[in-house]
Amino acid sequence: MAQLHEKFHTTYVATAADNNIIKAKPGYLHSIIIGEWVTGGTVEVSDSATDGNGNVKIFLQAGATDASGFPKTVLVNAQFDIGITADVGASQTKVTFVWR
């Protein structure tokens, strides 16, 4: 019997860092979970297998007034044709990517 739905995976990024390879080949990004508020924290996701600031498809930035309501889940539901790579910057921490 064929499997109807491919399983989702998670990649957790604990600290700010560039070029976090989420998936080094084509994939689907379901959502991004931001676990903790950081003023000016950024998450930049590119359609690339190696470079988080290459072909940018998503850019998120926490403002000075975002302190309530964390963790936050950002639904993405987007196909990435090359790969999924993220830069997590400006001291942003505790970000989880949900993908397949």
Residue 28 is part of a domain; what is its CATH number? 2.60.120
Number of separate domains in the chain: 1
Distance, in Å, from the CA atom of 98 to the CA atom of 100, rounded to the nearest integer, reads 7
Residue 4 lies in a domain: no
pTM, two decimals, is 0.89
Residue 29 lies in a domain: yes
Residue type, 97: F
Per-residue pLDDT for the chain (100 aa), expressed as one digit of tens each? 445 567 999 999 999 999 999 999 999 999 999 998 888 899 999 999 999 888 999 999 887 776 677 899 999 999 999 999 999 998 899 999 999 9
Instruction: Provide the domain limits for residue 31.
Output: 9-99
Residue 1 lies in a domain: no
For the chain, the maximum distance between any two Cα atoms, rounded to a whole number of angstroms, is: 51
SS3 22: strand
Residue 43 lies in a domain: yes
Residue 2 lies in a domain: no
